[in-house]
Chains A and B, each alone.
Chain A
Amino acid sequence: DGGITQSPKYLFRKEGQNVTLSCEQNLNHDAMYWYRQDPGQGLRLIYYSQIVNDFQKGDIAEGYSVSREKKESFPLTVTSAQKNPTAFYLCASSRTVWNTEAFFGQGTRLTVV
């Protein structure tokens, strides 16, 4: 099944711990994105990457970090500095950063207790 795979689907962590969310795509897309989805707030961009070894901050990057060592992978780390990490996280990709049709993963629901 091609597309974008996010894992795990549900994730629980203790407050103060860093946690890494996985995002893999086999669409050969150059651009990848991480969004945070909160009820009533739509999707807000955390980080995006135009190409391997490059990434840029989005609107709410504080408390998050990413890497893009491989074209197909764009993991997101939620650090202890993120004040309100409990949320639904969506990963997306597009053919290029100027090709605006985004393909989304199924999402990861992170709960910090």
Chain B
Amino acid sequence: AQRVTQPEKLLSVFKGAPVELKCNYSYSGSPELFWYVQYSRQRLQLLLRHISRESIKGFTADLNKGETSFHLKKPFAQEEDSAMYYCALTRGSTLGRLYFGRGTQLTVWP
């Protein structure tokens, strides 16, 4: 069975500090991994996906198949990054439904 684990429920950093939100997954096949973000009073939205290998709002995430991880990183956090972040997985070419982690609430202090 597939599973997504976000070990940190809450994460706080100061503005300008690096931030890393952890995500580990368990799935024996070839997954697609995503990060979704929910800012205060806004709807949940896609932040980035591993197949795009892009940087969005300064965030990057690398899929490490050996460690089965997909950690989200940003070198210099900003106050507007404060939000709830969800890591999600889908089973590649099969059904497109998403399996979500429990989420990490990131707070960036000024």
Could you say which interface size class chain A belongs to?
Answer: 20 to 34
Q: Is A43 in contact with chain B by the CB < 8 A criterion?
A: yes
A24 to chain B, nearest CB (A): 14
Q: Is A89 in contact with chain B by the CB < 8 A criterion?
A: no
Q: Is B97 in contact with chain A by the CB < 8 A criterion?
A: yes
Binary interface profile of B, 29-50, with partner A (CB < 8 Å = 1, else 0)? 0001010100000011110010
**With A105-B43, A107-B43 as given contacts, are A40 and B96 in contact (CB-CB < 8 Å)?**
no
Which residues of A are in contact with B by a Cβ distance under 8 Å? 31, 33, 35, 40-45, 48, 58, 90, 92, 94, 96-107
Q: Please, which residues of chain A bring their CB within 8 A of the CB of B98? A: 43, 45, 100, 102
Are B103 and A42 in contact, CB atoms less than 8 angstroms apart?
Answer: yes
Are B46 and A101 in contact, CB atoms less than 8 angstroms apart?
Answer: yes
Are B101 and A96 in contact, CB atoms less than 8 angstroms apart?
Answer: no
Are B95 and A104 in contact, CB atoms less than 8 angstroms apart?
Answer: no
Q: Is B65 in contact with chain A by the CB < 8 A criterion?
A: no
**With A100-B34, A104-B45, A107-B43 as given contacts, are A94 and B101 in contact (CB-CB < 8 Å)?**
no
Q: Please, which residues of chain A bring their CB within 8 A of the CB of B25? A: none
Given contacts A96-B96, A100-B90, A104-B43, 16 further A-B contacts (CB under 8 A): A31-B96, A42-B4, A42-B6, A42-B86, A42-B101, A43-B44, A43-B100, A45-B97, A45-B99, A92-B44, A97-B95, A100-B34, A100-B49, A100-B98, A102-B36, A107-B43
